[in-house]
Amino acid sequence: MKLKHRFSLIKLLRQNISILQLSGYAFAALTGMSIIFAAFCFSKDIKPLFSSENRLFTKDFMVVNKKVSVFASFGKSNTAFSQQEIEEIRKQEFVSSISYFTPCRFQVRAYMNPDGGISGLSTDLFFESVPNRLLDKKGKDWQWNEESRMIPIIIPQDYVNLYNFGFASSQHLPQISEGIVQQVVFQILLEGNGKREAFTGRIVGFSNDLNTILVPESFMQWANKQFGSSINADNISRLIVEVKNPADPKITEFFASKPDYVVNDNKGEQGKLSYFLTLLIIAVMIAGGLVMLPSIGLMLLSINLIVYKNEKTLGNLVLLGYRRSHLARPYCLLVLTLNILVGALAIIIVHYIQNLYVPRLKILGLENFSSGLTSTTIFALIFILTITMFNIFWIWRKIGKIKIPAKG
């Protein structure tokens, strides 16, 4: 089609297009898109608050153990869980799975000596392990086999904080960073079951989840066989309970009925907050979608009215040899242009909203801020493309149903 004819066709077909209807669609679409895009951007921006780089576990969990009574101090009470008690917890609706800590059943002693000898400054330690499937840190640094002499270790983040902000500050000692701690290699002596063997150890990570010293599960299984005592070998004193929903009220109800159980839910409040924020964001996005629905309906209604009012003209143009694709193109370009303009304006509004809440996120500790606006823009493009394709499909459908007037 020649360019002159194309402009003539556009000029002819734009008759009966209601500016008021298009303005109504643009306003409703702008409101809906702004709500949806802002909620999406906010969810991306606050994600680092709930996914600390020192998070150890991949799922929501709680650690459960029994209270240590006065009788336990004299060896008259057992703090281990029986199989019946474990099964009772496992059968609860809120439980996804249950795992447990494996403690070392041998003596552990660490030595700090630049020369590498088993002498100098030393301290007694303890090790524990958890199933590898629960861990988020599964890189090459966390691998161990019987030929390895290096034991990878994960320690609580609080240990470093206590030194830096407690001991070092009071004794006028230099503070140390996590990077420096991870460079230190120290000697570890394992002893038990009539055997004694030296290894080296290195801290490969830090945890905000657990107050324990973790080693790989493969190492713990091997070391317990080599050096471990068989006394209380089957005792399980601490459980890792993975929960489906940390905000489930049944969790509180169940453990309230078990006064002898102690639940370490350091992540519980954070998990609940994260869960409720997720629900809130979903609710806001649904609200935005509900605002979008009338705008989409208004656009479809406008298309129907435009095609209906121009039906005779469109039919005559088909008789003159114009393809239906040529007739649909001006309406498709109109919808595409309108959606792009509305989407771009919505992104600008989201950027303005983001500038309002970002300073408050930084107050909450989100210093290394990584804006979610980029991913929001990509999401917006996909969203706008989807809406536009649906509108174009509807235009082609209506143009395809145009009746051609009888000749003569």
Residues of the chain with pLDDT under 70: 1-18, 21, 48-59, 69-78, 113-121, 136-139, 231-233, 247, 265-275, 301-327, 361-371, 399-408
pLDDT at 282: 82
Taking CB atoms within 8 Å and a gap of at least 24, the contacts of 266-273 are: 266/208, 266/209, 267/57, 267/60, 267/61, 267/62, 267/209, 268/62, 270/50, 271/60, 271/243, 271/246, 271/247, 272/246, 272/247, 273/50
pLDDT at 12: 46
pLDDT at 348: 92
- Rounded to whole angstroms, what are the CA distances from 345 to 39, 144, 353? 16, 54, 13
Separation of alpha carbons 57 and 246, rounded Å = 14
Segment 102-144, tens digit of pLDDT: 888 899 988 876 554 444 567 888 899 988 877 765 567 788 8
Taking CB atoms within 8 Å and a gap of at least 24, the contacts of 220-224 are: 220/102, 220/104, 220/127, 220/128, 220/129, 221/102, 221/129, 222/146, 223/104, 223/106, 223/127, 223/190, 224/102, 224/104, 224/105, 224/106
pLDDT at 191: 92
